[in-house]
Structures are given as C-alpha cells and as structure tokens.
Structure 1
Amino acid sequence: MRPRPYPVPFLATDETVPEALARLRGIAPVVPVELPGSVVVWAVLSHEAVKEVLGNDNRVFGKDKKHWPALHDGTIAEDWPLRTFLHGNHINTTDGTDHRRLRDYFGDAFSPRMVAALAERVREIVTTLLDSAEAGGDEIDLVPAFTEQVPMRVICELYGVPESAHALLRQRATTVLSHTSTPEAVHIARSRLHEYLGDLVDQKRAEPGDDLTSALVHARRGEDRLSHTELVDLLCLTLLAGHETTAHALANSIVSLCTHRDQLALAARDGLWSKVVEESLRVSSPVQANPFRFSLRETTVCGVDIPRGEALLVCLGGAGTDPNQYGPTAGEFDITRQPSPHLSFAYGPHFCAGAPLARLEGRIALSGLFGRFPDLDLTVGAKDIPYRSNFVTYGPASVPARLNRR
C-alpha cells in the first residue's frame, strides 16, 4: 500500500460540521482525520465512497469494536468520550448473524403496517403540543416546545414510559451524545439511563402492557429470546439515536422552510410534506458523521488505501451535499429537485430500522405546525441559529420563532 496520508483536524476553529465535511471532501473522498482526544480515523465523505462502505458491511467492513486494535491495545485512552458510541451489544454494534438476529426482533416494531397504525396517535401528540403553543405567547423556542417533544413523546409511548420521566430521559440522552460532555458525565448519564430502562424491562416482564418494551420482553424466535442486557441495550440505542435524530430533522426542516418561503408555500398548497422531509434529510442530515466501521482487511475505497484494523467515520452529511452526486446546487434546499436517493438513513444491512417512523413523524409534525401557523417565522437570521455541540447527531439547540397567529 502507498504511504498513509498525514491526518488533518476534523474540525477547525469556528467551523460548522457541514463546513468541515465540505472542506474535507474537497481534499479526497476518504481522508484520515484527527478527532478529539488525538484519535485518528478515516472520514468517508463523498456519496460514492459512503455508499461503497455501507454496501460492503459484513464483508469488508464490520461494526463490532473487536475489529479495532487501537481501542484495546492502549493506543486510545479508556476515558475517550467517543467510546460511548461503541458500548452495548445491539443492532448498531454487531455484524452478520448476530446483527440479523437482533434486527429481526426489532424490525417487526417498525414495519410499515405497525408505523401506519401509529399515525393517529402521532397526530394527537402534535395537536396537543400545538394547542399548548397557541395558548402561550406569540414568541416561542420550537426546540424545547415542539421538535424535541414530538419524538420523545412518541418513543416514550412506544416504550410505555410515563410522561413524568420524559424530561429526565431527554436530559440524559443529551449528555451521552454531546462530545463536550466530560467522560464522567457521560458514564453517569449512560449508567442511569441503563438503570431506568433495566427497571422498565423488569416492570414489563412482571406486568406486560400494550407497548414495544412488553412485546420485546416476551418475543421469541423458536427457542431464542432476547436477554435482559440485549433488551436494555436495544432500548437505549433506539432512545438515543431515534429521538435525537428526529428532533434535529424537524428543527432543520423548520429552519429551511422559514428561509425558503416560496417552497413553504408550495409544500402547503400541494401537500408536498414528504418531499420536504426527504430534501431536508439530504441537505441537513441529522446524522452528519456515523461512528464507527472497521476495516476487516486491507482495501481501497474510491481509490484511497485503507489498512486492516482501521476505524471509519461514515459522513452521511458529506454524502448528502456532494456536488458530484447532486450537482452544483447540492448544498441548497430545493423540494422541486429531481428525485435522487439520499443516504441519511444509511444503506445496506444497517439501513435504519426506524426510517418509516421518522418519516411519518416528519410529515405529520411539519404539516400540523405550518397548517396551524402558516405565517410562522424565525426571529433571528438562519446564521444566528445555535447548533448543539456534537458532530455525530447535528441540529439546532434553539429555534426562536414568532407564531404570527391570525
């Protein structure tokens, strides 16, 4: 193999995550980068490269952390904050037969039929939140009042979690996912999250209800059933990944629609909310950089040599705005764009099992919000919207808006 290129910083000072991915993609489709903690991985940046890696899961690349020697030989510190993404034994950290076994249990809960059955309850949740917004003042921060609330309430209802625990679960999820959280804070938040979900599993085992937790606790595939640890890890993954990403997707969509009023008018007039959801996912992927995959052998990706035992950061955000795939306007939000599939829900064996539910929530929440408040607008410029301190899941920390009620 050719000499390994010298790694470059993943994020420069005062650089946004999308700006960083565009800069790196301009260097090469795959670039060695240095993450916080001086850990070097390969950033996979172009649409072609991302699809090539995802399409070779279980053959050339794996998700099990045992395939990354640097994680186990002392090269990477034990308190490295990003280790949190490698914890647990669930559908995002397993390969092959183990992955298919876990996904079979989980996939049933998010089948198109099951998701369609949730539509009416999602509408009720959205309506309740909009009623609360209408009862308040004209100015609102849509993140805590709406975009975080919709997916949290939906997923907690799926789990059978009481409303009194919603805010606490959200707080712990945010701490775990933020790369600025201290290792101690991440450890405490994750431990308490696992403790809560473990108690929930025990409760549903003793007193099952009509919810996803109960269904998973009592599910069987022949003689096989999920262990307590597998159940808790699976629930934790869904809470962390599914809630955070959908909240960011909703917030990103609102910002894009408010700054493209012509497209908002078109979506409202013709009911093009599905196109809004897909275009927002493409141009503002809520998962900008997906950690991690590991090279199972020496290989090349888009002509770039990757040694065996290396970690790859799959940059879905870079793929979504790649001009080689979407043309010179790739970075612009345009719901009239000719259809071109995006990779924001991944591709191949690890395609997101929760994609149907995320799409449903997006359509219902956005059509409900702008149907109730068609003149809703931001109270700050788009460049003044603050974003959460995370480069994995990426979205607004606040969306200050004025409802402009009629």
Structure 2
Amino acid sequence: MKGKKRVLLAVSGGIAAFKAAALTSRLVQADYEVKVMMTKNALNFIGEVTFQALSRNPVYTDTFIEPDPEKIAHIDVADWADIIFIAPASADVIARLANGLADDMVSTTIMASTAPKYIAPAMNVHMYANPAVQRNMQRLVQDGYQFVEPDEGYLACGYTGKGRMAEPEDLHAMIDHHFIRAAHPEWHGKRVVITAGPTQEVIDPVRFLSNRSSGKMGFSLAAEAAARGADVTLVAGPVSLDTPHGVNRINVQSAEEMYKAVMNKAEAADVVIKAAAVSDYKPAEPLTEKMKKSAGSETLHMIRTADILAELGTLEKKPVLIGFAAESENVEDYAREKLRKKNVDAICANSVVSEGSGFQVDTNSLDLFFRDGTKDHIPLMSKADAAKQILNHIPPLWVNRYDR
C-alpha cells in the first residue's frame, strides 16, 4: 500500500514557473512526494537544480536520458503518479496535449499516464482568449483534463487581465481537495450552509456590540466540507480570514443580515452548521449621530435579535441541523437543553474558559451531543482537525431523512 500521496508536476515555459517552485515547496512541507518534469522552454525561466532541491527528487527534462537501464523513465514516472499537475501550462503545451503530440519528456509522460490530470494555464490575456487556445482547452476538458481558472491581474507582458496562473496556495488546495474528495464520496454535491464569526450590532456611527469570535472554527468547517466535495455557502460575519478554496462566501454584519442570508439558503440545503456567535441582543434604536460622553450613566435599551437556530428547527423540510454552544459553566446541561429546545440534530459544545478552547485560538476541544442521547468527545486539537471530526459525524444523520 502506498504511503505518501504522489504528485507529478509538469512545468512549461513561462514566468509563472517561479510559482511552480513555491508550489513544490508547499507540497513537500505538507508531506506529499513530488517529482518534477520540465519542458526545454521551462529551463529558460528556472533551473532544474531549484526543483531538485525543493522536491528532493531527480528532475526529468529529456525523454532520452535514461539513468536506470531497467526502466523507461517516462513510463516509470507516468505509472508512479497519483495525480499530474501541469503548472504553468503554456498555450504551446495545451495545444500539443489537445492534438496528441508527444515528443518531449512532459508530453510523452502525460500521454502515457492514466492518472488524473489538472492544468493551470498561464499566458497573455489575448493569447488566453484566442479561439484556438479556447478550442484546445475545450477538447482537453472533453478528454477528462480538469482546468484551474487563471486569475485576473497584472501580467508579466504589461497587460492587465485574465491569464495569470492561480496562486500556489490555491493550487495546493486543489490537490488537497482531489485526494480528500476521493476519500469522502458521501459528501459529493451535498449543499451545506455554514455560519462563522461574530455579528456586530450598531449603537451609533462609531460604536457597535459584538463578541470575541474569530470565525476560525466555522471557516475550518467550510474548508473541509468543500474539500470533501460539498457545495458550500459560508455566511461570515466581520472577520479577517481568507475565503477557503471552493467556498461561496456571503459577508454580513448584523444578526438580521445573517438571519436573512441563512434562511434564504436553508430550505435548499442538505446540512446547516451554525458555528457563528450571533449577538442575542441589539440596540432598539441605533443612533444616527455619535453618542457623546456625559457626566452621569447612560442606559441603552436592547431588544432580542432573531434566533436563527430555533427558526431553522421549525422548517417543514429541515436540513440536518448542527448547532454550537459556547459556555462558561454547566456545559453539558446547557448543550442538551439547547439540543431539545432548538430542535436540532446535534450540538457541538465547548467551554470558552478552558485553556486552548473557544474564541480567538487555533485549537478547540468539544463535546458533541446528539438527538438520540449519545455523545462524543473531541479532545484538544487544531480547529482544522476538529472540523474533520465534526463532519465525520454528520453523514449518519442524513440517512433515511427524506429524498431531495
């Protein structure tokens, strides 16, 4: 049985070859085994020694260099790969693959491999839009290749537009997703709505009421669900976190905005995970001018915000519903009461006063309480790993519910 996942990276000629070096470094640090092959034009932009040092493997540049007489190099490495990633992919390489040409190390290896193949184009904006290039890409899609859309931005040629190769972190995420998706077919196509972060309730043009939520737990859940192949909508309060790869993000500020965004998506969802720390109260009448200091005390009249979790629990076609409970005492009692009162399938509860757990940290420890009375404990671990544990508990909850 194989150990590390094996990535064969094909680098063609283009200034974006430096991003391929960064991708190689990221993958090796993430415990992938990486081998690199390069076209002759790629060698004009970056040296093979760079990739050899980063990958800790020999670099393939010539079909006719056969260091091991017992093996044919391009066949051997073609069979070795779990996945082939072509980044950057020039218009020339795309054309050659689309037309079945195989006369260098990169093309012969790709043609000889049955591994899944991903292509990350990088070229001038007009070249990318050229009908011939678009036609070649469409042919490759029909042949089973998957494309990573290039970004828009400033290009090395001086133009600004679509054609810049996707960033190494996005390519890394796609490779992660490829392997995670394969391990979790039950999540493919599931429609998942996740809330994350705090909400802010306006007092006046300067001040607002909020809480300590960083959004890290919800964002970790969104990243993992998307990696497993789910169609994820992330409704995020005001946080400074990057949108996970493959996630549709809706930014909101107030509890009311979050309520509207969630309810708009909920009835079509298979799963809703309410990880956001929503304000329970808001000022009855926000001020239009800044409140000035006075000698005495001030009283702020507050009213309740909409209870999103309870409202979701009343839906006729209720999705699998997962709530969170951040408590400072009597965690189990409050969690079980919330489970019953809100009519949800599970509650993920944690103590915000426990070290390493709760708000504004990268770790969490949780107790999961289920409708059937069972519970499970997630010990202190990274929020990314905790998200995996939480999602592992969800598929049994949607079995035998109703057809969608």
Higher relative contact order (CA 8 A, sep 6+): 1
Higher helix share: 1
Shared fold by TM > 0.5? no
Higher strand share: 2
**TM-score (normalizing by structure 1):** 0.23
